[in-house]
């Protein structure tokens, strides 16, 4: 064991911790995943050990050592803590002074940074796809439910739209690693197709200015991929908005 001394909570201490697994950080990495019979069987047989097909799940899992369990869990789905460690190694910190010339006299905030990067993300989309978009402020509204709207960051006629996200670095790294836009954005993605029946493709762009090696990601979502979700979420939205209306009317006395 190495013992390294620092000034308590000093800058050097904070710098040293970046990208490393600390005491409290390990729980952010360790998954709660239960190891199934199939996973245990595959791992054991990868080492050349035959497993009786009739062996019960408990017996197969009990063949694993503590070290085996640790390795298997490290090979499974990753938690956000994993991607945050990667981000600390490859992304530079967000510095308000970097945006001083683009703030227009406003005080820096992460929300304002997001607006700035959305514009840059749209420009990057145009350059990378060799297209011209309309990035004017527009709202799309469902013709059969005026309480349902969406605001595209950019459009190409009515058949294509662009949604830009300037997320934290670890969320962009996760999307890159998983090869898919964040699952928590799925309803927003589907909403575009719900509101605009002519929409054929949504270009979901993730953009950042603090990770030169991964500044841009683009996921193209086509209507055919979300047809069933469109039906489900449209029905849900209609039903839930009726409940909103009913409760609002009840309280508007």
Residue in 192, 187, 211, 214 with CA at minimum distance from that of residue 202: 192
Predicted confidence (pLDDT) per residue in 169-228, tens digit? 999 999 999 999 999 999 999 999 999 999 999 999 999 999 999 999 999 999 999 999
Domain presence at residue 79: yes
Domain presence at residue 4: no
In this prediction, residue 24 has a pLDDT band, given cuts at 50, 70 and 90, of confident
The domain boundary residue, chosen from 90, 124, 144: 90
In this structure, the answer to whether residues 116 and 193 fall within a common structural domain is yes
Residue in 98, 84, 120 with CA at minimum distance from that of residue 215: 120
Q: Assess whether pLDDT exceeds 90 at residue 134.
A: yes
Domain presence at residue 71: yes
What local confidence, expressed as pLDDT, does residue 160 receive?
97
In this structure, the answer to whether residues 153 and 34 fall within a common structural domain is no
How buried is 165 (Cβ within 10 angstroms: 0-12 exposed, 13-18 middle, 19+ buried)? buried
Predicted confidence (pLDDT) per residue in 26-47, tens digit? 788 788 778 888 888 888 888 8
CB 219 within 8 A of CB 204: yes
Domain presence at residue 168: yes
Domain presence at residue 6: no
Domain presence at residue 26: yes
Number of domains in the chain: 2
In this structure, the answer to whether residues 84 and 103 fall within a common structural domain is no
The domain boundary residue, chosen from 70, 90, 110: 90
In this structure, the answer to whether residues 73 and 104 fall within a common structural domain is no
Domain presence at residue 1: no
In this structure, the answer to whether residues 71 and 172 fall within a common structural domain is no
In this structure, the answer to whether residues 126 and 53 fall within a common structural domain is no
What local confidence, expressed as pLDDT, does residue 4 receive?
67
In this structure, the answer to whether residues 113 and 200 fall within a common structural domain is yes
Predicted confidence (pLDDT) per residue in 112-127, tens digit? 888 889 999 999 999 9
In this structure, the answer to whether residues 242 and 204 fall within a common structural domain is yes
User: For all residues of the chain together, what is the average pLDDT?
Assistant: 90
Domain presence at residue 39: yes
Q: Which domain holds residue 82?
A: 11-90
Q: Which residues contact 34 (CB under 8 A, 6 or more apart)?
A: none
Give the CATH number of the domain where residue 164 resides: 3.90.320.10
- Cβ neighbour number for residue 153 with a 10 Å cutoff: 20
Kind and range of the H or E run holding 148: strand 145-150
Q: Tokens for 19?
A: 């990208």
In this structure, the answer to whether residues 75 and 123 fall within a common structural domain is no
The domain boundary residue, chosen from 71, 90, 109: 90
In this structure, the answer to whether residues 110 and 224 fall within a common structural domain is yes
In this structure, the answer to whether residues 78 and 126 fall within a common structural domain is no
Q: Tokens for 84?
A: 């945050």
Q: Assess whether pLDDT exceeds 70 at residue 13.
A: no
In this structure, the answer to whether residues 183 and 67 fall within a common structural domain is no
């Amino acid at each position: 064991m190495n013992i390294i001394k620092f000034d308590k909570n000093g800058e050097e201490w904070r710098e040293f911790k970046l990208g490393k697994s600390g005491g409290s950080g390990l729980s952010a990495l360790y998954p709660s995943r239960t190891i199934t019979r199939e996973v245990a069987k595959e791992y054991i047989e990868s080492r050349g050990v035959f497993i009786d097909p009739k062996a019960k799940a408990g017996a197969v899992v009990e063949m694993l050592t503590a070290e085996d369990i640790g390795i298997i869990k490290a090979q499974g789905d990753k938690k956000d803590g994993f991607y945050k460690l990667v981000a600390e190694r490859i992304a530079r910190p967000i510095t308000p002074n970097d945006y001083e010339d683009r703030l227009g006299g406003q005080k820096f905030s992460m929300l304002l940074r997001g607006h700035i990067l959305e514009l840059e993300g749209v420009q990057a989309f145009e350059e990378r796809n060799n297209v011209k978009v309309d990035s004017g402020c527009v709202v799309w509204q469902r013709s059969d439910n005026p309480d349902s709207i969406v605001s595209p960051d950019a459009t190409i006629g009515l058949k294509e739209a662009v949604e830009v996200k300037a997320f934290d670095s670890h969320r962009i790294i996760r999307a890159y690693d998983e090869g898919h836009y964040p699952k928590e954005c799925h309803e927003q993605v589907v909403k575009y197709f719900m509101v605009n029946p002519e929409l054929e493709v949504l270009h979901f762009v993730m953009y950042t200015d603090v990770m030169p090696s991964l500044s841009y990601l683009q996921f193209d979502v086509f209507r055919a991929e979300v047809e069933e979700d469109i039906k489900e979420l449209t029905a849900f939205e209609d039903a839930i908005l009726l409940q909103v209306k009913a409760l609002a009317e009840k309280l508007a006395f």
